[in-house]
Amino acid sequence: MADERPLIEPTREELLEQIAALPAAVGHAYRDASSVAERRLTAPTYDAWLADGLTIARASFRAWEATVEYFKATIPVLDALEGAEDLSIWTTGGKDLSSSSATVSGSYFRSSARFLGFEVANALPGWIDSGRRLYHGTWKSGALAARFFELSPSLLDHVRLSDVTQFAEFLDGIAQHSSELAEECLNIAPECFEYVDEETIEGYLDLLRATADQGWKYAKETQRAAAIALPRISKTERSRFLAFAGSMAQERGKRYLSLLTEGSRALDDLDFHMHRPALDMFEVLMGLSQEAAVEFLRAIPPVLRRVDAAALNRWYQEGVRVLEQNDAAGIGFFKLESARGEAIIQELSATVNLEESAPVLQMYARGLAGSEIQLKPSPDLTKRTMGWAGEARPTTDGLSIFLPEEIALFESKPENFGWYKVLTTHQAGHIEFGSFEYSGGREPVLFPPAKRTPADQTATAPPTPATPLDENAENRSEIPGLTAALSDFEQFFDTFEDRQLAADIFAAVEGSRVDFLVRWFYAGLRKSYAQVQKAAVAGRPAPQDLPLREALVELLIRMTLLDSPSTIPVPKEMRDTVRRVAGVLMRLRDIEAMVEDSAEATTLIYKLLIEIPNQPVQEDFEWQEEDVGELGAGAPDPTAEISDADSSTVGGNEFVPGQGTEQDVPYSPPEEVDYRGDFKPELVQTLANLRKGGQTTDETTQAPPLTEEMIRQLLEKSAEIDLSNVVEGDIDDPSGLFISSLMSEAIEGPDAEFHDEMGETGNGRKPQESEDPLDDEPRTALYPEWDFQALDYKPSWCRIRETVIAEGTSDFYRETLDQNAGLVNEVRRQFEMIMPETYRKEKHLPDGEEFDLDAVIESIVERRAGAQPNEKVYWRRNKSERDVAVIFLLDMSASTAEAIEDKPNDEDEEGEIPDDPRQYLFWLRARREQAKRSYRRIIDLEKEATVLLINALETIGDTYGIYGFSGYGRENVEYYTIKSIEERMSDSVQRRIDGITPLHATRMGPAIRHGTAKLDEITAKTKLLFLISDGRPQDRGYSREGAEKEYAVQDTHMALLEAKGHGIIPFCLTVDRSGHDYMKEMCGDLPYEVLADIKSLPERLPQLYRRLTL
């Protein structure tokens, strides 16, 4: 019998020697932990700890890496354990894992301390089993298991360990199909589990398991969509919602994903109290058609915007009946694609939409306004980028009335339609009663005209330092054409230092005048109109909560809305001022009142309010309710001189009229009166002048058309343009978006379909354009125009006015060459290759240097065929003189002001927008100057390309001319000489290039014909007409003939064919990315190019020229 001797345990020294034999990282990790471990562990436990580390290191390939993690994790784990005796549970689990995978074991050790922060040591085996389940002996499964140990502790912050175990089972099921997808699901688990709680985790995991069984490809999408959906659902209905999704997921397909995404978003749009009844109805539909059930949920929000909850149930019941009869019809019903469903909603809905009401309201508005006015949805005006920003506010641009797309303010259709009627009536009233026809030369009827001298302005307005813009304003009359172009409203508002205050007062008093006249002349509207006016006061800010001047403006608005016996709160200290304001309003309520009377009333009220400081209302102010009618009845004569003493004391504190006090706050405009909408008289009148092509300076002189810079000066002072919109890009945007919109408005009119243009009185009647040929004038040229509908020319239809463009400086020319030195040299090198004398290969000659092989073969074939052979079978090189003449036509339309680069990221570094108007003008000027230095426009690229081309053309000696064109109307096509075709290059030409600037419209036909005429006078072997534009041709009466843009395109096409018929090669280059839509039709078989990258224009233009003239 053999001896049974016990195994001798290695000593600590032997264990340490073995550790020292392992890679150095193991020794470092051990030494970092040993001192603390030795103090906290008993000697046997410490030795066992050392031995376990060695066991782990020998377990598998590179298992020593797991030993490193083991030693590093020991101290944090000891801190997390309730007692050192639990250390063996942790160590045993790690040893088991290390025998399978050192990587998995290392992740386990690294994450153990975080796990033990949530769970006790006895929970470790369950966690280890979950991770071990994911490992199947492959490196992919090992990576998944390791990742599980790293991430799973963070899940315990939201769910239980048992839930994490079930989630691991889900991951294992997905990993059977795709380890990558399983790892992706694991990676998003922490963010998804944030949305899950104890009440929803079971349903959430059931849904994931159903996905793993039936649609594993959608596992990640399901996991994320379900988590995001939960916060959208009422807490009491979340488990039920998940159960519905899980039930749908049991069937193959991904319809349940629509429920999770679109269905949850639909429920999120509803109040929580609606979720239970909505899901009740959904559950019924689930038993009939899952698709119909999901479509029902999606349809609830839009249906509820038109009907109430009771009506929704009736609509649903009807849909169920349809679905029971026909599955497809029922699905269409709940998709809102059914005529029957729409009819039921219409029957149940109190909502009135503009599309349905427009025909009736439009006839009504035309009857009121006396013109062919159009009704359109408010967003249509906002999209035109001309200063109107509110997409749901009623307004008018003088030609059309813009109304909200739908109204659902009241519980019945008649009431909502009545609201539409009131909105339409007020806006039509502005047109009918001449709100936009103000003329400074017409005397008011009810008020003696106020004298607005500079001294008066100084007395009634706070003095501020002059700005550069002020200096310009003083010299406006010296700028040709600008004085005539000013609207009378602008000149009126220029008399007030605080334009915003004056504009707010005028809007209130003019709104009051229109309301009074509407109620007087249309007695049937009085009752409903009065109800609307009274309702408009509800919800307005209380005057007591506003600074003093703003409070008086608010009282002014309330007085324009209310009649006796209605009352308003009046501060006792300001009662006399309020009575004077009421007296002005009372006098204005007269059927003879004109817009000029509103202007005079504005002046009187402004003088009263500008003297009131805009300081917070003092606590000791005494407010009394006063009858609106009695206030006006007992008021002093509104036209009497206003004494400073009338309002120079507030609460016992004296102040200088107009100077304000130290407690003043910046003035803020009042809230708009909802039914009066967005009233912009200055902008509307400016648009009217633009559409008429400029005012006349006297009876015989026509002012020149407005330029971009003139319009910029007209608009930058206006209080009607929201400063936030200015910064976002209306006025200040270097692309000229806002300016271009107004120029386009002037050229094309607001609506091609209806031909709306302002008449002389601004009443919307379209002026008739003469159809007669134009008379000849000195220094002009007349050209016909092709009418594609009549298939004939209109004789002497367009007048070209040719002038030499104004010179700038030669700096632009020199800087362009300096900044593009590399490109300049490359272009010059290419052009030097086509020097004036070149050798060209001429074929089919009777004698020459060599046989032409192609000709020889043709001759042999002809002889054998019995035909007479061609004896011209030679070729030779002949020296030929280069003889080229070219005209470049540059588009100088307003749209070439568009920017081609994004704004720099540091644009906002100039600080916040000043609220003070004067400071704002300084700020705006500074921004604009920077913009001019920082941004390039389309026209700038045209100029750069011209400089490079000139430099190249001078190298080869071609005859060339450069012209620009723009204009406004057929009688005024502007043709600018930059370099005439007979002129030699000079410093003057360099300076003229700097003068190229965006102007007006684009009437291409006459410009091309004039260029053709010039080339006809030149003797040259090759003639080229090169047109560079940024868009389709358009001009007043050109691109809007017959509501079509076809007219302008066809005339341009005919002009190009005429050039070709004269032996000229026409070529069109456009930088409009949508140019393919019309260039093919405009050019036909003639050569053209649509430049995809506008920034390549300077480089591409010389390349094209070289190709065309070789």
How do residues 398-441 score in pLDDT, each as one tens digit? 888 898 888 877 777 888 888 888 888 899 899 999 999 999 88
How far apart are the C-alpha atoms of 986 and 1006, rounded to whole Å? 28
Please enumerate in sequence order all residues whose Cβ is within 8 A of that of 1002, keeping only pairs 6 or more positions apart, or say none: 891, 893, 895, 965, 966, 1029, 1031, 1032, 1033, 1034, 1035
Count CB neighbours of 269 within 10 A: 13
Tell me the mean pLDDT in the region 1075-1084.
Answer: 76
Count CB neighbours of 7 within 10 A: 5
How far apart are the C-alpha atoms of 67 and 106, rounded to whole Å? 8
Q: How confident is the model at residue 643 (pLDDT cuts 50, 70, 90)?
A: very low
pLDDT at 317: 92
- Return mean pLDDT, the chain: 78
Among the listed residues 423, 491, 912, 487, the one whose alpha carbon sits nearest the alpha carbon of residue 672: 423
pLDDT at 935: 58
CB of 181 within 8 A of CB of 220? yes
For residue range 795-844, what is the model confidence (pLDDT) as tens digits? 888 999 999 998 888 888 988 888 888 888 877 777 766 554 455 567 77
As a whole number of Å, the end-to-end CA separation of the chain is 113
pLDDT at 363: 86
**Looking at 207-216, 282-291, 976-985, 1076-1085, which range is the least confident one?**
1076-1085
Q: How confident is the model at residue 607 (pLDDT cuts 50, 70, 90)?
A: very high
How far apart are the C-alpha atoms of 400 and 366, rounded to whole Å? 10
Please enumerate in sequence order all residues whose Cβ is within 8 A of that of 771, keeping only pairs 6 or more positions apart, or say none: none
| H or E element in which residue 19 lies | helix 12-21
Q: Phi, psi (5° rounding) for residue 406?
A: -155, 160
pLDDT at 441: 87
| H or E element in which residue 794 lies | strand 792-804
CB of 124 within 8 A of CB of 86? no
pLDDT surpasses 70 at 282: yes
pLDDT surpasses 80 at 936: no
Q: How confident is the model at residue 211 (pLDDT cuts 50, 70, 90)?
A: confident
Q: How confident is the model at residue 621 (pLDDT cuts 50, 70, 90)?
A: confident
* 646 exposure class (CB count in 10 Å sphere: 0-12, 13-18, 19+): middle
pLDDT surpasses 70 at 761: no
Structure tokens given for 375: 């009704």
Tell me the mean pLDDT in the region 879-896.
Answer: 80
pLDDT surpasses 80 at 902: no
Q: How confident is the model at residue 1085 (pLDDT cuts 50, 70, 90)?
A: confident
Output the CA torsion 724→730→732→734 (10° steps). 140
pLDDT surpasses 60 at 469: no
Which amino acid is located at 555 in the chain?
Answer: L
How far apart are the C-alpha atoms of 858 and 869, rounded to whole Å? 8
pLDDT at 349: 76
* 1001 exposure class (CB count in 10 Å sphere: 0-12, 13-18, 19+): buried
Structure tokens given for 552: 């008086």
> CA distances (Å), 174 to each of 61, 168, 213, 219, 812, in order?
28, 10, 9, 8, 67
Structure tokens given for 545: 């909560």
Q: Is the peptide bond before 565 cis (omega within 30 degrees of 0)?
A: yes
Tell me the mean pLDDT in the region 2-16.
Answer: 67
pLDDT at 117: 85
Q: How confident is the model at residue 7 (pLDDT cuts 50, 70, 90)?
A: low
**Looking at 66-70, 186-190, 934-938, which range is the least confident one?**
934-938
pLDDT surpasses 50 at 724: no
In the numeric block, the tokens 């003019």 are attached to 510
Q: How confident is the model at residue 991 (pLDDT cuts 50, 70, 90)?
A: very high
Percentage of residues in the chain having pLDDT higher than 90 = 20
pLDDT surpasses 80 at 467: no
How far apart are the C-alpha atoms of 73 and 52, rounded to whole Å? 14
Tell me the mean pLDDT in the region 1039-1059.
Answer: 77
pLDDT at 693: 55
HSE of 486, CA atoms in CB hemisphere, 13 A: 20
For residue range 975-988, what is the model confidence (pLDDT) as tens digits? 999 999 999 889 99
For residue range 121-156, what is the model confidence (pLDDT) as tens digits? 888 889 989 888 888 888 888 899 889 998 889 888
Which amino acid is located at 359 in the chain?
Answer: P
> CA distances (Å), 1049 to each of 783, 790, 964, 970, 1083, in order?
17, 15, 19, 15, 9
Q: How confident is the model at residue 909 (pLDDT cuts 50, 70, 90)?
A: very low
Structure tokens given for 599: 């202007």
Q: How confident is the model at residue 773 (pLDDT cuts 50, 70, 90)?
A: low
Tell me the mean pLDDT in the region 920-928.
Answer: 47
**Looking at 417-421, 423-427, 526-530, 574-578, which range is the least confident one?**
526-530
Q: How confident is the model at residue 746 (pLDDT cuts 50, 70, 90)?
A: low
| Between 1027 and 770, residue with greater pLDDT | 1027
pLDDT at 764: 35
Alpha-helix residue ranges (DSSP H) falling in 656-707: 681-691
Among the listed residues 1090, 1030, 1044, the one whose alpha carbon sits nearest the alpha carbon of residue 890: 1030
Tell me the mean pLDDT in the region 897-910.
Answer: 49
CB of 648 within 8 A of CB of 656? yes
Q: Characterize 815-830 residue by residue with b for buried, 16 or more Cβ atoms within 10 angstroms of its Cβ, and e for exposed.
A: ebbeebeebbeebbee
pLDDT surpasses 50 at 871: yes
Measured over the CA atoms of residue 1086, residue 1091, residue 1095 and residue 1100, the dihedral's sign is negative
CB of 393 within 8 A of CB of 677? yes
Q: How confident is the model at residue 907 (pLDDT cuts 50, 70, 90)?
A: very low
Among the listed residues 389, 390, 387, 384, the one whose alpha carbon sits nearest the alpha carbon of residue 404: 390
The DSSP secondary-structure symbol of 768 reads P
Among the listed residues 127, 117, 22, 13, the one whose alpha carbon sits nearest the alpha carbon of residue 70: 22
The structure's pTM equals 0.50
